[in-house]
Every structure is written in C-alpha cells, then in structure tokens.
A and B are shown apart, each in its own frame.
Chain A
Amino acid sequence: ILNVEQSPQSLHVQEGDSTNFTCSFPSSNFYALHWYRWETAKSPEALFVMTLNGDEKKKGRISATLNTKEGYSYLYIKGSQPEDSATYLCAPILTGGGNKLTFGTGTQLKVEL
C-alpha cells in the first residue's frame, strides 16, 4: 500500500492571501504525479501532470513544484480568490504500484472574503 500524505488537511485563508500545501509520497520508483482540483458538486479537474525532478508548472495563479528525490510536491496559490475554494488532490504514480493513480486525502481550501 502506497502512503500518500497531504497536508494540511484543511486550510482557511483570506482573499488575497497566498498559500501552499504539500503532497508527500514514497520517493522510490517514482513515475509521475498528478494534481487535481475538486470543487463541490463539480468534477475533479486536472491541474498538472509532473514527471521530472525539479519540474515547475504554472497555470494562472497556481503553480507546483516536484522533488522526486525526497518525495514531495508543493502546490502554491498566489493571491487566493473565493473561486479557488476546493479540495486539492495529489496522486503519484509509482512503478510497481500497478501504474495507477494513488490519491491522497486532499487539502480542503476555503478562501473567505
């Protein structure tokens, strides 16, 4: 069983704050890592697929970094807006783990006015 941990479990920030959260995973046999955003009552939406150590990806105010050697990825949101409120899920893929996404429990972000 692969141990994927996301922290914090939940986060409340004010509009305009920048925030970040962490996804930790076993560093051996790394293949790829997915980030998804899941707004209430909507479909989980793909944010990033990251494969290389040192990868940095950006989509608007959201960016992510990847460290495969130490087994973590950070997701950053700059200038949070209420529409950023969602659960952010990470899912690494490890070779030997059936080549499937293994999701963390997510970080639930609420951005308040």
Chain B
Amino acid sequence: DAMVIQNPRYQVTQFGKPVTLSCSQTLNHNVMYWYQQKSSQAPKLLFHYYDKDFNNEADTPDNFQSRRPNTSFCFLDIRSPGLGDAAMYLCATSSLGRGRFADTQYFGPGTRLTVL
C-alpha cells in the first residue's frame, strides 16, 4: 500500500549528539511536513517543503534542519539535541496546489525521540 514511512520508530540519542530522522513516501506528493509533538501537547509544525521550496516556521529553533533530496525522501536533522527536544516527530505529506492547505495530510506513524 502507498504510505508514509518513518524510520526509526524509536530513537535514543545523547544530549548534544546529532541525530537524523527519516521519512519516505510512496504517494508522490509534492508537499512534505515535519511536526513535533511533546507530551500532552498539540502537534506543532516545524517546517514543510513545497516541492524543493523549504518553508520554515518562524518559531522553529535553528537547531532543527531539514533536507529533501528528492520527492520521496525528507530528513529531519537535530544538530545538538537538548532534553527539551524529546518528543514524537511526525512526518506528513499532501498533494497541493500552492496555498491550498485544505487538502488532506497523510501521516507516518512518527518517531519517538528520547534524549539522555
């Protein structure tokens, strides 16, 4: 089945040690999103790619970076994880015309990041 895949499902890293989370999709969608959900909080958009155009949210820390080498893959890099970065990270995709955010987003199962 076409889907959004996230690897790994669980990631443990040490304080300050760079970590990369992976997302791939077989839907051929042009938009990919990264959300962060901390415990008991709402999922919060970090950034999204519209094709190759990177769109960063104003309040996303510089510690968070992203790469999209092709349509299918998108990576979230956390350069120096702090304890406060422990969260569930969700990747999502959608097929949109520019500005059309009413379309459905398709989510992966998330990667739960633990920072020791």
Q: Which residues of A are in contact with B by a Cβ distance under 8 Å?
A: 4, 31-32, 34, 36, 41-46, 49, 51, 89, 93, 98-106
Contacts and interface: CB of A to CB of B under 8 A. Distances in A.
B90 A44 contact: yes
Contacts of B48: 100
Given A44-B90, A44-B107, A32 B102 contact: yes
A103 B42 contact: yes
A29 to B, nearest CB: 13
A109 to B, nearest CB: 16
Q: Is the interface of B mostly helix, strand, loop or mixed?
A: loop
A110 B38 CA distance: 21
B103 interface: yes
Interface residues of B, number: 24
Nearest to A1: B59
Given A31-B101, A43-B4, A43-B109, A4 B42 contact: yes
Contacts of B41: 105
Most buried by A among B99, B101, B105: B101
B109 A42 contact: yes
Interface string B37-81: 000111111001000000001000000000000000000000000
B102 A105 contact: no
A49 B45 contact: no
B40 to A, nearest CB: 7
Contacts of B105: 34, 46, 101
Most buried by A among B40, B43, B45, B108: B43
Contacts of A46: 104-106
Contacts of A100: 45, 48, 57, 101
Contacts of A106: 42
B102 A93 contact: yes
Contacts of B107: 36, 43-45
B42 A32 contact: no
Contact of A31 (B43, B92, B102, B104): B102
